[in-house]
Amino acid sequence: MNLSLSDKLNHILESISSLYAEGWLAVLFIALIIIELFLTSKKKLVLGVVALIGLAINFLFIQKTGTGNEAPFMLGLLAIHKSSLFFKYLFNFSGMVVILMMMLSGNNKQEDFKNYGEFYSLFIAIILGLNLMAMANNLLMVYLSIELVSITSYVLTVFKFDKKGAEGGIKYLLFGAISSGVMLYGMSLLYGFSGSLVFSEIASGLAHIPTIPVIIALGMTLGGLFFKISAAPFHIWTPDVYEAAPTPLVAFFSVAPKAAGIAVLLTFIQGFENFVQEEKGIIYLLGFVAGLSILIGNFSAIWQKSAKRMLAYSSIAHSGFLLLAIIPLSASGYSGLYFYLGIYVFMNFAAFVFIQFFEETSGNDSIEKMKGTGLSFPVIGILVVTIMIALTGLPITAGFTAKLFIFSALWEAYQNSGEGFMLTLFIFGLFNTLIALFYYLKIPFFMFFRPNENQQFSIQPVQTALLVVLTLPLIFFFFKPDVLTGFLNTLLF
């Protein structure tokens, strides 16, 4: 691409038409900072409203960008991939839910985040970073967008301004910085091997390089992504950070950056498709990481007493399941992956909305403290049972359908390739789904089968409504999964 300067400028100007949504988010980010200057410390809720409206408008911009032709723009840094639109919708939706949760916080003083004005602007910056991750087409862009998301996340983790928050923050930061250092080193090696930073060019450039260095370089690069999606062995930070950070943010961490990491992984794998088909090493790597994540996630979760830590481990296990969907490298696997992500957004947010409600009324998130709440609040109880069943992946919820899609894609891949590796993963995953039953059902168990210890609870009607809105799709998409798959197809293909 040896263009003259004016050609380059023209190219950049043309590219802007594909960046409406990101441009709008940048404007929103700056606007929130400016508006905050004019607000007294008690009136920060205005910022939440502005951010909420801004994100709602952003839906229009995302739609306007349209489905991608996959042609790279911005000098090859970005491209609208097939999946970009889906991920952008997902981030935007998650962002709105989190801002709502944030604005609802503050039933007790300890958990009052809604008046920390900087929160909203920083949060918009995360969404911007996530959008860029979903469109990245170049190692430089991958690195920049991941860092934009990570650094902002470190800051937000500390936002409780207590001892736990500081500890979680420093752990997150050090772990994240080391992971990105490893990833960067891997990237620099890939650059050296192929002489390019663009995915498709790297793939062709790697053809004449011996396998072992390539696997090491690719492995190191993927390490950074595993950190972002909290897959084993890069998962260890997850529970501590989840315990330390504000609950609405934890809900976001467990969904959006994970989805973005998966988006980058998809671009990566699809860019390297030929290479991967020939050299199975990367697929084995993904398989081991997936298996390990599911195993560690499930077994450690059994042990947990804090609901947030339990969900942290559960999110590690879910990362494993998401990786399982990539392994077949088939269309049905990918569509299963998108379906799973779509459902995962609903069930995880619903779980965290419940925990936030519970945490604020009882002061902490210990599962044992939930004794008898199901009997005192049957509506909440039933919703929670539904959510937990969805997380386990059992019928009457779309969690089951999602797992069914992934497992049948894996089974199909096994039958096509005849590789015992796939079969092992299939059986292993199925078996772990059963184990998951234990810890997920622990919450309903305490809610319904233990007598209430005269605890006082109060529910805000808005929170109940939010819970209902997030839970109903879980049941609806079980009965009519074709609605969601149809919607995904119009977005993706």
Partner 1 sequence: MIPIEHFLYISGALFCIGLTVVLVKKNAIVVLMGIELMLNAANLNLVAFSQYDAQLIQGQMFSLFVIVIAAAEAAVGLAIILKVYHFFQSADLDDIKELKG
Partner 2 sequence: MEGAQTNDIAIIATGITLMPLFSFLLLIFFGKKLEKKSGILATAVLAFSALLSLYVFYQVWLNQGSTLTHFEWFSHQTNAFVIGINIDKLAAIMLVVVTLVSGLVHLFSLVYMKGDKNFPRYFAYLGLFTFSMLGIILTNNIIFIYIFWELVGVSSYLLIGFWQEKPAALKASKKAFLVNRIGDAGFLVGILSLFALFQNTDLGIIASKHFSGVYAVDFASQYLLISLAGMGLFCGAIGKSAQFPLSVWLPDAMEGPTPVSALIHAATMVAAGVYMLARIAFIFTPEVQIVIAAIGTITAFMAAYAALSQNDIKAVLAFSTISQLGYMVMGIGVGTVGASLFHLVTHAFFKACLFLSAGAIIHVMHQVEHDTKAHFDPQDMRNMGGLRKKIPVVFIAYLFSAMALAGLPLFSGFLSKDAILVGAYSFASEYGGAAYLIPLFGFLSALFTAFYVGRQLIMVFFGEFNLEDKIKDAGNYIQDISWEMKLPLVILGFLSIGFVFSLNPFDGENGWLLATFKGNLVIDHSQKLLVEVISASLAISGLGLAWLVYGNRVLYNLKQSLFPKSSFAYKLSLNFWYMDSFYERVLVKNSILIAEKLKTFDLSIIDGIVNKLALFNVIFAHIIAWVDKYIVDGFVNFMVMVSGKTGNLTRSFQGGKVQSYFAWTLFGFICLLIYLINE
Segment near partner 2 (CB under 8 A); pick from 76-84, 111-119, 134-142, 445-453? 445-453
Asked whether position 171 contacts partner 1 by CB under 8 A, the answer is yes
- The string of DSSP letters for 366-432 reads BGGGGTTHHHH-HHHHHHHHHHHHHHHT-TTSHHHHHHHHHHHHHHHHHHHH--HHHHHHHHHHHHH
Beta bridge partners of 79: 72
Binders in 376-415 for partner 2, by CB under 8 A: 378-379, 382, 385, 395-396, 401, 404-405, 408, 412
Name the token pair of 466: 């939010």
* Position among 127, 296, 325, 345 found at the interface with partner 2 (CB under 8 A): 296
Binding partner of residue 296 among partner 2, partner 1, none, CB under 5 to 8 Å per kind? partner 2
Using DSSP, state whether 447 is helix, strand or coil. helix
Segment near partner 1 (CB under 8 A); pick from 153-161, 279-287, 342-350, 353-361? 153-161
Name the token pair of 286: 């993904």
At residue 201, φ and ψ (nearest 5 deg) are -75, -35
Asked whether position 239 contacts partner 1 by CB under 8 A, the answer is yes
Asked whether position 212 contacts partner 2 by CB under 8 A, the answer is yes
Using DSSP, state whether 366 is helix, strand or coil. strand
Is the dihedral angle over the CA atoms 211, 212, 214, 219 positive or is it negative?
positive
Binding partner of residue 168 among partner 2, partner 1, none, CB under 5 to 8 Å per kind? partner 1
- What minimum distance in Å lies between the beta carbon of 236 and partner 2? 4
Produce one character per residue of 145-182: b if its CB has 16 or more CB atoms within 10 Å, e if not. Answer: bbbbbbbbbbbbbbbbeeeebebbbebbbebbeebbeb
Angle between helices 481-492 and 398-417 (to 10 degrees): 60
- What minimum distance in Å lies between the beta carbon of 392 and partner 2? 12
Name the token pair of 336: 């299963």
If the CB atoms of residues 191 and 445 are measured against partner 2, the closer one turns out to be: 445
Name the token pair of 284: 């084995």
Binding partner of residue 250 among partner 2, partner 1, none, CB under 5 to 8 Å per kind? none
Asked whether position 299 contacts partner 2 by CB under 8 A, the answer is yes
Binders in 384-403 for partner 1, by CB under 8 A: none
Beta bridge partners of 366: 306
Distance (Å, whole) CA 484 – CA 467: 20
Asked whether position 374 contacts partner 1 by CB under 8 A, the answer is no
Question: Using omega within 30 degrees of 0 as the cis cutoff, is the peptide bond preceding 233 cis?
Answer: yes
Binders in 231-270 for partner 2, by CB under 8 A: 232-234, 236-237, 239-240
Using DSSP, state whether 457 is helix, strand or coil. coil
- What minimum distance in Å lies between the beta carbon of 240 and partner 2? 8
- What minimum distance in Å lies between the beta carbon of 471 and partner 2? 14
Using DSSP, state whether 116 is helix, strand or coil. coil
**Do 22 and 128 contact (CB within 8 A), yes or no?**
yes
Using DSSP, state whether 363 is helix, strand or coil. coil
If the CB atoms of residues 195 and 486 are measured against partner 1, the closer one turns out to be: 195
Residue with tokens 């390990």: 292
If the CB atoms of residues 109 and 163 are measured against partner 1, the closer one turns out to be: 163
If the CB atoms of residues 169 and 374 are measured against partner 1, the closer one turns out to be: 169
Asked whether position 451 contacts partner 2 by CB under 8 A, the answer is yes
- The string of DSSP letters for 266-304 reads HHHHHHTHHHHHH-THHHHHHHHHHHHHHHHHHHHHHH-
Asked whether position 1 contacts partner 1 by CB under 8 A, the answer is yes
- Give 33-81 as a 3 state SS string: HHHHHCCCCCCCHHHHHHHHHHHHHHHHHHHHHCCCCCCEECCCCEECC
Binding partner of residue 163 among partner 1, partner 2, none, CB under 5 to 8 Å per kind? partner 1
Asked whether position 240 contacts partner 1 by CB under 8 A, the answer is yes
Q: Cα 29–30–35 angle (5° rounding)?
A: 100
Binding partner of residue 154 among partner 1, partner 2, none, CB under 5 to 8 Å per kind? partner 1
- What minimum distance in Å lies between the beta carbon of 356 and partner 1? 19
* Position among 10, 207, 479, 489 found at the interface with partner 2 (CB under 8 A): 479
Name the token pair of 190: 């890939």
* Position among 289, 325, 353, 355 found at the interface with partner 2 (CB under 8 A): 289
* Binding mask of the shown chain, residues 279 to 318, with x at each position contacting partner 1 by CB under 8 A: ------------------------xx----x---------
Residue with tokens 């910085």: 177
At residue 138, φ and ψ (nearest 5 deg) are -150, 140
Residues at the contact surface with partner 2, assessed by CB under 8 A? 170-171, 174-175, 178, 212, 215-216, 219, 223, 232-234, 236-237, 239-240, 281, 284-285, 288-289, 292, 295-296, 299-300, 302-303, 332, 372, 375, 378-379, 382, 385, 395-396, 401, 404-405, 408, 412, 434-435, 438, 442, 445-446, 448-452, 479-482, 485
Residues at the contact surface with partner 1, assessed by CB under 8 A? 1-2, 139-140, 143-144, 147, 151, 154-155, 158, 161-171, 173-174, 177-178, 181-182, 184-185, 187-189, 191-192, 195-197, 239-240, 243-244, 303-304, 309
